Amino acid sequence: MTNQRKTGGTRMTSIRTSRRRRRTALGALGVAAAMLISACNASTSTGGASGNSGSSGGSSGSGQAASSGNKPTITLVTNSWEGSLANNVVAQYVIEHDLHYPVKLLDLSEIPAWPATAKGQVSAVLEEWGHAQQYNTYVKGSHQVIDAGQEGPLGNIGWYVPTYLMKAHPELATWKGVQKDWKMFVTPQSAPQGQFLDGSPSYVTNDAALVKNLHINMKVIYAGSEAAQLTEIETAYKQKKPLIFYWYTPQYQNAIYKFSQVQLPPWTTTCAKLAASKINCAYPPYDLYKIENAKLPSTAPAVAAFIKRFHWTSDDQDQVAFDLAVKKMSNAAAGKAFVDSHASLVQSWLHGPDTKIVVPPPGT
């Protein structure tokens, strides 16, 4: 929803890359970012059990890399949301311990990750939200990227308010209530308009278009990152203040705080075809999926097969994200804890069937 970590609810680091059409880094940045990948790789550690997303949380440094022989290093993209890191630390643990390949985690935004995967600078991305345009270019078009099947969780993006606010103002259950009550959301940053809180400005969201096209007197204010957005949400929540914001599931914070979704006009394929500035409907549903470089099945066949089989639930992801962000477990410790307690699931990743492929619909 896809850049960081936190502590006790605010540990998110700023790796949260632009998220889905939910957050998508501007396409124009893709080429420049891809050119910088080699430099990023140089700064991405593969040793130690750091909890930072930019480092390999696996068993590198404890003899694991030595057992990899001449096997290629597997590079997994960590996007800017905690769930992306949760995917990667578990996958990394299995790839290093069961398949004996060295693994590197690379912080990279969603859109630049596509050309990087196509060029083989990235091995795989374990969580994609939509990206129909990139899918058509690299999967259907050039065939440089493989659709590795569904990840498991269903993604949902939308407008949310704290549940205490929804109970006090039930009209906020729909966008028409927001249109009526916008004054309660005025802040010094947004005055004289109401504030709609977004995360990173690198996210490509529909919110500015929605407040304009639904005639809601509000201004989109970017917190700067997912971590900064969460800090503002937590502060308002503790003080029981009015707040409306862009949010999503899966997200481990939803088990800590009670949020309620505001109903927007329903998403339709017709709305999805509108220009971004004309969008006037809810965000689409997302079947989260994985991608891998087209040459991975020949350069690292066991890893390619594992990625195609990898799947879990929203609760699984939230559990690992919670361990990382709130319990402050290292990448390696969080990955090991999950693997050790889900032996049958891990075996299905190693020996089971490939996950189902669902092509992202237009407009996502």
pLDDT of residue 202: 72
pLDDT of residue 363: 74
Per residue, what are the HEC states of 137-164? Answer: HHHHHCCCEEEEEEEEEEEEEEEEEEHH
Burial letters for 286-322: b for 16+ Cβ neighbours within 10 Å, e otherwise?
A: bbbbbbbbbebbeebeebbbbbbbbbbebebbbbbbb
Structure tokens at 364: 């996502």
Query: Which tens digit of pLDDT belongs to each residue from 15-40?
Result: 333 333 344 433 334 434 444 444 44
CB 268 within 8 A of CB 262: no
With CA atoms as reference, report the closest residue to 12 among 167, 191, 183, 230. 230
Identify which of 91-105, 222-236, 274-288 has the greatest average pLDDT: 91-105
Place of tokens 């929203």: 314
Structure tokens at 258: 């009670």
Tell me how far CA of residue 197 lies from CA of 245, 264, 285, in angstroms.
4, 16, 21
At residue 362 the predicted structure's pLDDT band, cuts being 50, 70 and 90, is confident
CB contact set of 73 (below 8 Å; sequence gap of 6+): 46, 101, 102, 103, 104
pLDDT of residue 68: 63
CB 256 within 8 A of CB 130: no
CB contact set of 204 (below 8 Å; sequence gap of 6+): 18, 21, 23, 24, 25, 26, 276
Helix (H) / strand (E) element for 304: namely: helix 301-309
How many Cα atoms within 13 Å fall on the side-chain side of residue 327?
14
Amino acid at 353: P
At residue 67 the predicted structure's pLDDT band, cuts being 50, 70 and 90, is low
CB 161 within 8 A of CB 259: yes
What domains are defined for the chain? Answer: 29-155+286-351 (3.40.190.10), 156-278 (3.40.190.100)
Range with lowest mean pLDDT among 57-66, 162-171, 296-305, 315-324: 57-66
Structure tokens at 142: 């050039």
Using alpha carbons only, what angle is made at residue 100 by residues 123 and 125, rounded to the nearest 5 degrees?
A: 20
Name 293's bridge partners: 145
Q: What is the mean pLDDT of the chain?
A: 84
